């Protein structure tokens, strides 16, 4: 029933999974530069692209999911905590993704990024950048957490049958697959280590930054490929002050509440997560050009808001760069705001 192929033949992996009966296909972690190759493969084998999945927000290559979605009308599926507005379906731990007769089970496996997930179907699991062959993904990006990554691997992925084939999103040593049993026993990063030992090991590793990370990460997070000059650098983003949902809620109930600036797209603002009552909608792509609308609030607290706190961190850095001194970001965005059952309007 399951047709399978790795399509890139490089360190960066894109997997095709298809239902043999219906000829419906799913692409996992497509890379933008190979979009023509994917379309040619689908056409040659008479497959219909039903769905696209990014296992996480990539920092090392531009995703091909946005372009393929536009060209084919395929569903774009990511975890609920993914920041990008172009997603058509959000999934969570335990959900099933249907492609023809196939059912791919979703495992939320954060640690590399908050939105990292793995997909389990048949005799194999696609592990993104959380579990690699003989290694694990880095956990030092914003939102990464080595302890949470250890839990994702040991408490979720390592509960699968030992013969389960492991297909990661990257491999740098020429490997094509492994098994859960092999990684449990022999992965030098995690085998035989306690959680504390793993956290200590990951903290001691000095990873180089991916090439052109800024040009890659911002469009992958926002689906905005123009106006790149308006995007702050990573050092500016790291300085943005963060507030939890509970902290923002308390500020809103105070005698001097902040202005809430929601930087999502209009459809998101009135969509499933709703918006904070009294908030002002200025989409991120328009923020630099419309910042003058906030002039009256220059000396007042401003809290930037988006879906998961990523685009709004960028927005807060932009406003700080324009001289707004009391700007904060809603950490984990409207996803966490909804999880805590705080007030929303739709």
Delimit the domains of the chain by residue range. 2-204, 227-339
Give the residue among 340, 312, 304, 341 at the shortest CA–CA distance from 83.
312
Please provide the DSSP assignment of 206-256 as one string: -PPPPTTHHHHHHHHHH---S-GGGSPPHHHHHT-EEE-HHHHHHHHTSSS
Task: Look at residue 213 and give its three-state secondary structure.
Answer: helix
Write out the two tokens for 57. 């927000």
The model's pTM is 0.89
Write out the two tokens for 152. 């994702």
Contact 28, 75 (CB under 8 A): no
Tens-place pLDDT, residues 9-68: 899 999 999 999 999 999 999 999 999 999 999 999 999 999 999 999 998 889 999 999
Any idea what the Cα angle at residue 110 is, between residues 65 and 155, rounded to 5°?
A: 130
CATH placement of domain 227-339: 3.40.250.10
pLDDT band with cut points at 50, 70 and 90 for residue 105: very high
Residue 234 confidence (pLDDT): 72
Domain at 2-204, CATH class: alpha beta
Residue 237 confidence (pLDDT): 81
The average pLDDT across 134-138 equals 95
Tens-place pLDDT, residues 185-234: 999 999 999 999 999 999 999 888 776 676 777 788 888 765 445 677 77
């Amino acid at each position: 029933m399951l047709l399978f192929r790795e399509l890139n033949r490089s360190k960066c992996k894109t997997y095709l999974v298809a239902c043999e009966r219906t000829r419906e296909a799913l692409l996992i972690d497509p890379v933008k530069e190979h979009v023509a190759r994917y379309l040619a493969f689908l056409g040659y084998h008479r497959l219909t692209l039903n769905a696209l999945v990014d296992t996480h927000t990539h920092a090392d290559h531009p995703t091909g999911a946005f372009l393929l979605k536009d060209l084919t009308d395929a569903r774009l599926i990511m975890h609920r905590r993914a920041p990008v507005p172009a997603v058509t379906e959000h999934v969570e731990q335990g959900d099933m993704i249907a492609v023809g007769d196939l059912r791919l089970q979703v495992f939320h496996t954060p640690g590399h990024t908050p939105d990292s997930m793995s997909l389990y179907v048949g005799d194999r699991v696609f592990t993104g950048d959380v579990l690699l062959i003989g290694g694990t993904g880095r956990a030092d990006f914003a939102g990464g957490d080595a302890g949470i990554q250890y839990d994702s691997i040991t408490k979720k992925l390592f509960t699968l049958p030992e013969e389960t084939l492991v297909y990661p999103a990257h491999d740098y040593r020429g490997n094509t697959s492994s098994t859960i049993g092999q990684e449990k026993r022999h992965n030098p990063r995690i085998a035989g280590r306690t959680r504390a030992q793993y956290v200590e090991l990951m903290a001691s590793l000095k990873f180089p930054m991916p090439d052109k990370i800024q040009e890659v990460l911002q469009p992958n997070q926002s689906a905005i490929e123009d106006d790149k000059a308006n995007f702050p650098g990573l050092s500016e983003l790291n300085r943005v002050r963060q507030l939890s949902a509970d902290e923002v809620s308390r500020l809103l109930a105070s005698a001097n509440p902040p202005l809430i600036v929601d930087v999502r797209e209009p459809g998101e603002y009135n969509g499933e997560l709703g918006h904070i009552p009294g908030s002002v909608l200025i989409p991120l792509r328009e923020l630099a050009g419309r910042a003058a609308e906030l002039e009256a609030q220059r000396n007042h607290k401003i809290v930037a808001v988006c879906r998961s706190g990523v685009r709004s961190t960028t927005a807060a850095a932009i406003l700080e760069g324009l001289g707004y001194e009391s700007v904060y970001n809603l950490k984990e965005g409207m996803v966490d705001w909804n999880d805590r059952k705080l007030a929303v309007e739709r």
